[in-house]
Amino acid sequence: MSGASVSGVSGASGVSAAPIEVVLSPIPIAQPATPAGVAAELAAARACGLKVLPRGLGTRRGPAAAPAKVDRIVSTAKLTKVVEYEPGDQTITVQAGVTLAELDALLLRSGQCLPVQQRAGTIGGLLATGADGALDLGYGRLRDRLLGCTLALANGALVGGRGRVVKNVAGYDLPRLALGSLGTLGILVEASLRVQPRPEAHTSLVFRFATPDAAFAAANALLDGGLEPVFCDVLVSANVPDAGPALTTRLAFGFDGARSVVPQLIAAADELIGPHKPGTLELGAGEHDEALRASLDDPRGAAVLRVQADRTELPALAVGLASAAHGAGLKVRADARPGLGLLLLTVDPAPEPVVRALLDSARKAGPAVLLQGPAVLASPDEVWGPPPPDFALMQAIKRALDADSVLAAGRYVGGL
């Protein structure tokens, strides 16, 4: 179950989970103010045979499968304590309800940051969904920054793994299991994270290219050229009906670093991509940098697909899926991240037959997850695809940590 997260979740690049409509009915919501209170809520629910949906602020998008049944929501919104912050060690421990905006403001005072572009929701929701980000290219994935965590289990126990712990769960790398598991193993109540110095300067550029092949070639030149962009995305898109028969292709990339270094990186990048004949410079250094980065980490559409594929397969995959969606009369954007082996596809609107066909095509290239889509496609098999070869091990871990399937039953792979 590594690659999934747990905690104040609701609703991957980058991939967070749309508020789950199933909880809009009058379902009781508990908001404990302490980790022990969260554990007690779970123990009480288990004793009564109730099914629990963990929730933070309900702002993040994640895989679109709905729980089979929800009797009670347990929210981490009141777990807002900063437990420990050691700027000199570049580590911080916070409770799950601390918002990303609050965390960023605190770290700013010491000239540090958690290098994720997302600002909505809580740290618990970010970890619970295992959200992707474009900046993962330059700063590494969330799993590399999660030093330790504490979970409240369905039996009422508080357990921890690595870093700051209440009690170790022998034999399990709990942070890896918890990250991205959507609250299906336990409710994440506390996390210890590695932070880093905030870059002095950052800038982004966007070039339009005549063909997708040229844009991907330029992206590969950047990735292999030793400049270490913090993100490098090829965007293949079409706005219907005014896009005409052709797709538009852009290359978006950015650099962070010292004020004296970033201009040098931009100049060097110009030399690397020049032979691939970029066209219009649509976003120059210093223009709308934050807005661009935020848009990459918050894909908007009636349907959002996340696909893992080899770097060499991404060009054909991005163009093929974008062309199919465009041919069906949909607005589409394929955000390919060659350095991460990842594609985020957004379409609007999202007719069920077309979305199903896009998922089927994507799954021929690699694992594909429906992050958002039509309600008719909310079953785990539709959202996640076929269970992986190690599914029996995943089932065993679920039984070990939540034997009665109290938590978020049905949301995860194979209906876990």
Q: Which pLDDT score, from 0 to 100, does residue 245 have? A: 65
Q: What is the pLDDT of residue 19?
A: 37
Q: What is the pLDDT of residue 96?
A: 97
Predicted confidence at residue 172, as pLDDT, reads 66
Nearest to 256 by CA among 289, 299, 222, 288: 289
pLDDT less than 70: residues of the chain: 1-25, 61-62, 162-172, 241-245
The pTM for the full model equals 0.88
* 3-state helix/strand/coil string of the chain: CCCECCCCCCCCCCCCCCCCHHHHCCCCEECCCCHHHHHHHHHHHHHCCCCEEEECCCCCCCCCCCCCCCCEEEECCCCCCEEEEECCCCEEEEECCCEHHHHHHHHHCCCEECCCCCCCCEHHHHHHHCCCCCCHHHHCCHHHCEEEEEEECCCCCEEEECCCCCCECCCCCHHHHHCECCCCCCEEEEEEEECEECCCEEEEEEEEECCHHHHHHHHHHHHHCCCCCCEEEEEEEECCCCCCCCCEEEEEEEEEECCCCHHHHHHHHHHHHHHHCCCCEEECCCCCHHHHHHHHCCCCCCEEEEEECCHHHHHHHHHHHHHHHHHCCCEEEEEEECCCCEEEEEEECCCHHHHHHHHHHHCCCCCEEEEECCHHHCCHHHHHCCCCCCHHHHHHHHHHHCCCCCECCCCCHHHC
pLDDT at 65: 81
Q: How far is the C-alpha of 407 from the C-alpha of 248, rounded, in Å?
A: 43
pLDDT at 244: 60
Question: How far apart, in whole angstroms, are the C-alpha atoms of residue 215 and residue 287?
Answer: 21
Between CA 179 and CA 174 the distance in angstroms is: 9
What pLDDT, on a 0 to 100 scale, did the predictor assign at position 162?
62
CA distance 416 to 409: 6
What's residue 160's pLDDT? 85
Q: Identify the pLDDT of residue 3.
A: 33
Quick: pLDDT tens for 341-356: 999 999 999 999 999 9
Label the pairing between strands 231-238 and 331-337.
Answer: antiparallel
Residue-range domains of the chain with CATH: 21-197+404-415 (3.30.465.10), 201-380 (3.40.462.40)
Distance of alpha carbon 188 from the chain centroid:
16
Sign of CA dihedral 34, 40, 45, 83: positive
Tokens linked to 308: 């893992």
Fill in the amino acid letter for 271: E
